[in-house]
């Protein structure tokens, strides 16, 4: 293999010791720029961590100044048990003088880039499967399979450098087709193990023309390919978006011209129609026409896959002057407070309320099945959240994944519907 990928250069810059080069499969001891930690629901785990740190003699957390503590799952708490767990974790961090986000701030993968905490070239460590979403800004963002205690106690963790697959996307989308349709199409073609343990880079003329909102949506889907992380090479669109959000210095790494990717997959999106992932797997992807007409009980717009301003904007466009079907719950959960404020200022939230949609505070919402729209047995939902596994949003229910436009159109129709008729 000649040359190195930008992701490998990022890892080298954060490694102790720093090697001259790195090859896929090589283990490195990494000191991250950001150690992100979710305020959990398990009080016993907080007690055990407290005990482990005391046993190790750790009095000051080495990454205290780099920790980003957030609350996005079950926020605010929907049950006494979850509330007790969150309270215990809040005590853990408050006793150490570590600031935390509030329960309405939004989803970690959105708010960290929005606030300039995650920037190009940085390494972020977080135990959440959709951490790769933040690779849209050119960061190395990989979910922690382990290493939590090591990060709390030592400030470093071990990671194996991934091989990198290139997903080259060309073409332009037709009317009624959106970035989430592309993400679903990729997942359907490559499958849930299509990039197992690798990094995926999204590139090509389609990606270069994409907004940041849709780049985050693409990178989010890397998780459903089994990827360790996702990546988009920073360009002018990235830098214009990032520079107004941070005072952190950052450095953009470039992939060497001679770098040989582990695999290259080519996609042309020009002839793509709306896509739907049918139950019960995100790679069980079909053309919308194959499931069109299926009656639904709930429609959900939100999650780290599709809770951004563009997603809410298209839903508001479809619902303006219309009403949600009387037998359907249409729940809209913005991904961050910044998104909610912008959507309010632009009139999107009013349009949703006028259509009888249910708009919530910014959080993960119904996606993990903890609150905000849990499905009853036998319910059928169309959703733009991350996954549709059995039990994901409620026991014995069916979840179809689609774009925010398809979700909004279906909410009006009371059945899975093509958004083209509503745009």
Question: Looking at residue 372, what is its pLDDT?
Answer: 95
* Domain ranges (residues) in the chain: 1-273, 276-422
Grouping H, G, I as helix, E, B as strand and the rest as coil, residue 419 is: helix
Q: Where do we find the tokens 């990039």?
A: 195
Question: Looking at residue 113, what is its pLDDT?
Answer: 98
Element (H, E) at 341: helix 337-345
Chain-centre distance for alpha carbon 345: 24
Question: Looking at residue 299, what is its pLDDT?
Answer: 98
Nearest to 121 by CA among 253, 256, 254, 232: 253
Q: pLDDT tens digits, the chain, 423 residues: what are they? A: 478 999 999 999 999 999 999 999 999 999 999 999 999 999 999 999 999 999 999 999 999 999 999 999 999 999 999 999 999 999 999 999 999 999 999 999 999 999 999 999 999 999 999 999 999 999 999 999 778 999 999 999 999 999 999 999 999 999 999 999 999 999 999 999 999 999 999 999 999 999 999 999 999 999 999 999 999 999 999 999 999 899 999 999 999 998 999 999 999 999 999 999 999 999 999 999 999 999 999 999 999 999 999 999 999 999 999 999 999 999 999 999 999 999 999 999 999 999 999 999 999 999 999 999 999 999 999 999 999 999 999 999 999 999 999 999 999 999 999 999 999
Nearest to 330 by CA among 250, 292, 384: 384
Q: What are phi and psi of 305, to 5 degrees?
A: -80, -40
**Whether the domain at 1-273 and the domain at 276-422 fall into the same CATH topology:** yes
Q: Where do we find the tokens 């990546």?
A: 231
Sign of the Cα torsion 264, 269, 270, 271 reads positive
Nearest to 133 by CA among 113, 103, 115, 157: 113
Sign of the Cα torsion 31, 35, 40, 43 reads positive
Nearest to 71 by CA among 88, 52, 96, 51: 88
Distance CA 96, CA 15 (A): 27
Other Cβ atoms within 10 Å of 144 Cβ, number? 20
The whole model's pTM is what?
0.96
Any idea which fold 1-273 has? Aconitase; domain 3 (3.30.499)
The alpha-carbon radius of gyration of the chain (Å, integer) is 21
Q: Is 408 left (phi over 0), alpha (psi -120 to 50) or beta?
A: alpha
Structure tokens that stand for 234 in this block: 């920073």
Question: Looking at residue 146, what is its pLDDT?
Answer: 77
Grouping H, G, I as helix, E, B as strand and the rest as coil, residue 415 is: strand
Spell out the long-range contacts of 139-148 with Cβ–Cβ below 8 A and sequence spacing 24 or more: 139/10, 140/7, 140/10, 140/11, 140/14, 140/229, 140/231, 141/229, 141/230, 142/228, 142/229, 143/223, 143/228, 148/49
Any idea which fold 276-422 has? Aconitase; domain 3 (3.30.499)
Rounded to 10°, the helix 309-319/404-413 angle is 30
């Amino acid at each position: 293999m000649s040359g190195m990928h930008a992701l490998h250069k990022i890892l080298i810059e954060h490694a102790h010791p720093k090697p001259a080069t790195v090859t896929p499969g090589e283990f490195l001891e990494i000191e991250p720029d950001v150690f992100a930690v979710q305020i959990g629901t398990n009080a016993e785990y907080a007690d055990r961590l407290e005990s482990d740190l005391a046993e190790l003699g750790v009095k000051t957390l080495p990454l205290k100044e780099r920790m980003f503590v957030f609350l996005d799952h079950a926020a605010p708490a929907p049950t006494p048990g979850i509330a007790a767990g969150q309270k215990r974790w809040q005590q853990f961090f408050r006793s150490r003088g570590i600031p935390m986000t509030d329960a309405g701030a939004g989803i970690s993968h959105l708010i960290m880039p929005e606030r300039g905490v995650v920037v190009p070239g940085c390494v972020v460590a977080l135990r959440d499967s959709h951490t790769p979403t933040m690779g849209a800004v050119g960061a190395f963002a990989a979910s922690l399979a382990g290493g939590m205690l090591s990060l709390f106690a030592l400030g470093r963790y071990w990671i194996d450098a991934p091989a990198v697959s290139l997903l080259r996307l060309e073409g332009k989308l037709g009317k009624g087709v959106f970035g989430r349709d592309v993400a679903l199409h990729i997942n359907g073609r490559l499958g849930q193990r299509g990039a197992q343990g690798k990094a995926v880079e999204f590139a090509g003329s389609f990606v270069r023309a994409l907004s940041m909102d849709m780049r985050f949506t693409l990178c989010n889907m890397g998780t459903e390919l089994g990827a360790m992380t996702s990546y988009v090479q920073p360009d002018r669109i990235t830098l214009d978006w990032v520079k107004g959000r941070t005072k952190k210095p950052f450095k953009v790494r470039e992939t060497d011209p001679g770098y040989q990717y582990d695999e290259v997959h080519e996609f042309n999106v020009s002839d793509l129609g709306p896509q739907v992932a049918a139950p019960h797997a995100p790679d069980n992807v079909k053309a919308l026409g194959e499931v069109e007409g299926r009656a639904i009980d709930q429609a959900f717009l939100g999650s780290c896959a599709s809770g951004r301003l563009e997603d809410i904007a298209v839903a508001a466009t479809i619902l303006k002057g219309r009403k949600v079907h009387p037998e359907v719950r249409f729940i809209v959960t913005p991904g961050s407070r910044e998104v909610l404020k912008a959507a309010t200022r632009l009139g999107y939230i009013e349009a949703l309320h006028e259509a009888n949609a249910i708009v919530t505070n910014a959080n993960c919402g119904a996606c993990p099945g903890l609150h905000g729209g849990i499905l009853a047995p036998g319910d059928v939902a169309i959703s733009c959240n991350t996954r549709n596994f059995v039990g994901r949003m409620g026991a014995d229910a069916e979840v179809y994944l689609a774009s925010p436009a398809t979700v909004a159109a279906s909410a009006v129709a009371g059945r899975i519907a093509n958004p083209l008729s509503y745009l």
